[in-house]
Structure 1
Amino acid sequence: MAARLTARTGPAAILALAALLGALLTSPARGAVPPAPGWDLQWSDDFTGAAGSPPSAANWQIDLGHGYPGGPANWGTGEIQTYTDSPANLGLDGGGNLRITPQRDAAGNWTSARIETRRADFKAPAGGVLRIESRIQMPNVTGEAALGYWPAFWALGSPYRGNYWNWPGIGEFDVMENVNGINSVWGVLHCGVSPGGPCDENNGIGASRACPGATCQSAFHTYRFEWDRSVSPNQLRWYVDDQLFHTVAENRVDATTWANMTGHAGYFLLLNVAMGGAFPNGVAGHATPTAATVPGRSMLVDYVAIWTRGGGSTEPPGESATLYLREGGGLGTAGGSATTVTVASAGGANHDGTPYQPQTYLASGVTGAYNGGSTAFDLFVDAGGTVACGQQLRVSYDRTGDGTWDRVETYHYFATDPLPGYEHYTEGRGLASATGTHGDLSGGRVRVEVWSAIGNGPSTLGTGNQSSIRIPYDVG
């Protein structure tokens, strides 16, 4: 077609046609999450907003630095970049896309960005299917210039938050990975133990294929993962542009391994572009990035969406119930939209172990059998720039609703850092004290109290879909 046009017109027409073809090939943002007939949309973000603005703080939290606090160095993968929240690394492009861009400074230091969903309860309903999907254009760079680029769209099991050393047992679903600008998408399951184990860690159980049609780097493609609990054995499936390229069945691993990665509250999603690390280095056969690697090539994300199909509650019978701290002081199985409340300052006093002007959340009329487990929770808290603040949580169980708290658990307070941004306060801080015993709930009550144990400034507690508690009761 171009040869014919050359004979009839001049270079300007050729350039115009090339621009048109390029625009068609890359298929810019659609502006909305596409419909998925037969599926129920549970959560989504289509990244609309002004150019340079950060992604929605209600939906996403931004990871910073070289690792989680107390977690493995270099995010456990050997990647070399520093993650930042700078608009140079992370922001909306104004055209309906999220842009994650690795950069290199004059001294050769790399920066990039990594974000994760605030929600960590994405899970296939009992007897149904979970669908995780995103439309992404990988960084448009190939060859020597691409060495070290490692874009990814993936999910981690919720128990990882606040622990950071229980990988891979809690499960990891890599919906899309790519390294070194190769025209290929990898889909990988990580589980079990490391090294070795049923998932051959640190490799995982994976497969790869070239992107259909245009290359992964030159155009948007749709990457999808399905967790299917409607079939026996259950299945995990990976797709690119609706083409299935990888399947892992439940009987591929032992029952304990499968239960460890599927029996918890669910998963949170991540988007990032790493530089260097074990995967790109291994594929290249040497350390990456190199002097030939070019900075400034962005991964573009049009939308991220979660659907379910069929089944019943996402909390099937025989599993502990997850309750969300909801606006107005309720505890419920549905979190609703993200909201916040202020946790009062401790006023410079020490209130360790004793609630002081707490934010209180209550669920009544709860019936369920005690399953022998223990309380778990994940609270999003932020003390801003105030130093030496510590939030504390107490959970109380009234088994019959008669006004007597039969089991009371107080957890060690969580010392937040003096930097803006939410942090995770989890049961990993440890139990400070406990009185009474668990037993079956029959029209009972569950109470959660959050207060400042120490410090001289207020804190913010994320509510709605942001903070949750998992009680050791089968309520299905």
Structure 2
Amino acid sequence: MKTMIGLWIVTLIPLMGCGSDGQAANNPLVDNIIEVSPADLQFAAAGEEKTIRIKAAAAWALKDDGQTWYSLSANSGYVGESVVKITALKNSEEKERSAILSFTSGTNYKQEYLLKQSKGAIENYVPEGYSLVWQDEFNEGTTLGDDWTHEVQKSGWVNNELQNYVNGEVYGKRVTELADGKLNINCFKGSDGKIYSGRVYAKVNTGWKYGYFEARILLPKGKGTWPAFWMMPVGNDWNTNPWPMCGEIDIMEEVGVVPNEVSSSIHTQDYNHTKGTQKTHAMTIDRAEGEYHVYALEWTEDAITTYVDGKVQLAVTKQQLGSGHNQWPFHYAFYPILNLAWGGDWGGMNGVDESALPVTMKVDYVRVFQKK
């Protein structure tokens, strides 16, 4: 009997040390529950897929750090060997980026794993023959400069939108702010229950007649969001030249209820959405809500063409639509607009989800070019 007891004790100890139900992770004496190879990952700027191998003495979980430039093929595993594929998207930022993954097991064990990606480059989509005449890279200060004008309007002002446009700070938070070289347009719910957001105009008193206009933007997520980059005429007399007679150029619009589908439109007296005759084109962009993309307009005397990352979105000409003011009012200066609406006729067509708030539209830069 004594011999049998001794054998039982000897065989029990290793079982306790490597139980598949996570017991090893709860034992502070066990340090190497998870071994990962290679020790870290370095991705090329162009983007690629790589594999890590995990040897585990207990069940484990894997959590990302919330960044969207990479994805994981699995987020958990068991005792033994496992493989996880990690896919990195193309890096279009002019700086290296990194991420920290977290392996956990049981209640006591945590191990971090480093991902890095080489510095990329922002592609140049500007057509030949254009030179830069104005830009804002949002690299200086914490608030917008004198070239920008905030709209101030209550909810319901246009399109039955739910947000209140303000200038400055509301309940301790700004609707627009500069941080990390980006313009953040913030939409949030105040302590009074109202929704606040930002709408800003660049060079509202002068604008530009013809040119190539572009902005690099990361769109927010959430049912109810309605971000836009668009243009309206300078100094317009709304009594004699009302909308849509005055003309409108929508370079980019997106609604969170149809995520990652971006569109461009023009509106004129003869071609507008109230008649269902507006000229519009939409395309689905991979990770429009997770990555920066370049939205652009080339506007000449006879043509309007919009682009997403250098690809044509909408192309219309004066010859196609007609040369009269009711067909082609694009013969005077327009100014660029950036805004983040909430709800409304389009953004709220299927309702809104306030649990998504707060949300932010991020703008890396706005640039204007004209022909040399």
TM-score class, shorter: 0.5 to 0.7
Q: For 1:196-230, what per-residue CA distance to the aligned partner results, in whole angstroms no more than 9, with x for missing partners?
A: x333536521110011xx3110000000111133x
Match of 2:145 in 1: 56
Could you tell me the percent identity over the aligned residues?
23
Q: Which amino acid aligns with 2:228?
A: A
* Native 8 Å contact 2:164 2:196 kept in 1: yes
Q: Distance in 2 between matches of 1:44 and 1:33?
A: 16
Q: Distance in 1 between matches of 2:237 and 2:181?
A: 29
* Residue 207 (structure 2) pairs with residue 121 (structure 1): yes
* Residue 52 (structure 2) pairs with residue 5 (structure 1): yes
* Residue 195 (structure 2) pairs with residue 110 (structure 1): yes
Q: Distance in 2 between matches of 1:48 and 1:90?
A: 18
Q: How does 1:289-368 map onto structure 2 within 5 Å? A: 289-290=352-353, 292-309=354-371
Match of 2:219 in 1: 138
Deviation at 1:89, TM superposition (A): 3.9
**Inter-CA distance 96–34: structure 2 relative to 1 (3 Å threshold):** farther
Deviation at 1:163, TM superposition (A): 5.7
* Native 8 Å contact 2:148 2:201 kept in 1: yes
SS at match of 2:296: strand
Q: Which amino acid aligns with 1:228?
A: T
TM-score by length of 1: 0.51
* Native 8 Å contact 1:131 1:224 kept in 2: yes
Q: Distance in 1 between matches of 2:290 and 2:335?
A: 28
* Residue 175 (structure 2) pairs with residue 90 (structure 1): yes
Q: Which amino acid aligns with 1:114?
A: R
* Residue 236 (structure 2) pairs with residue 160 (structure 1): yes
SS at match of 1:298: strand
Q: Unaligned stretches of 5+ in structure 1? A: 67-72, 125-129, 311-476
Task: Please give the root-mean-square deviation of Cα atoms over the aligned residues, in Å.
Answer: 3.5
Q: For 1:424-450, what per-residue CA distance to the aligned partner results, in whole angstroms no more than 9, with x for missing partners?
A: xxxxxxxxxxxxxxxxxxxxxxxxxxx
Q: Distance in 2 between matches of 1:65 and 1:303?
A: 25
Which structure has the highest strand share of the two? 2
Q: Distance in 2 between matches of 1:164 and 1:221?
A: 37
Q: For 1:114-143, what per-residue CA distance to the aligned partner results, in whole angstroms no more than 9, with x for missing partners?
A: 10012433112xxxxx2110000001x2xx
Match of 2:226 in 1: 150
Match of 2:268 in 1: 191
Q: Distance in 2 between matches of 1:19 and 1:256?
A: 47
* Native 8 Å contact 1:138 1:299 kept in 2: yes
Q: Distance in 1 between matches of 2:66 and 2:94?
A: 21
Q: How does 1:37-56 map onto structure 2 within 5 Å? A: 38-50=129-141, 53-56=142-145
Match of 1:435 in 2: none
Q: Which amino acid aligns with 2:309?
A: D
* Residue 332 (structure 2) pairs with residue 256 (structure 1): no
Specify the structure having the higher radius of gyration (Cα): 2
* Native 8 Å contact 1:138 1:300 kept in 2: yes
Q: Which amino acid aligns with 1:76?
A: V
* Native 8 Å contact 2:303 2:317 kept in 1: yes
**Which among 281, 285, 310 is matched to residue 207 of structure 1?**
281
Match of 1:457 in 2: none
Q: For 1:301-356, what per-residue CA distance to the aligned partner results, in whole angstroms no more than 9, with x for missing partners?
A: 0011111225xxxxxxxxxxxxxxxxxxxxxxxxxxxxxxxxxxxxxxxxxxxxxx
* Native 8 Å contact 1:96 1:302 kept in 2: yes
Q: Distance in 1 between matches of 2:50 and 2:63?
A: 9
Aligned length: 275
Q: Distance in 2 between matches of 1:7 and 1:202?
A: 60
Q: Which amino acid aligns with 1:191?
A: T
TM-score by length of 2: 0.64
Q: Which amino acid aligns with 2:272?
A: C
**Which among 257, 262, 278 is matched to residue 345 of structure 2?**
278
SS at match of 1:160: coil
Q: Distance in 2 between matches of 1:289 and 1:17?
A: 23
Q: Distance in 1 between matches of 2:160 and 2:363?
A: 25
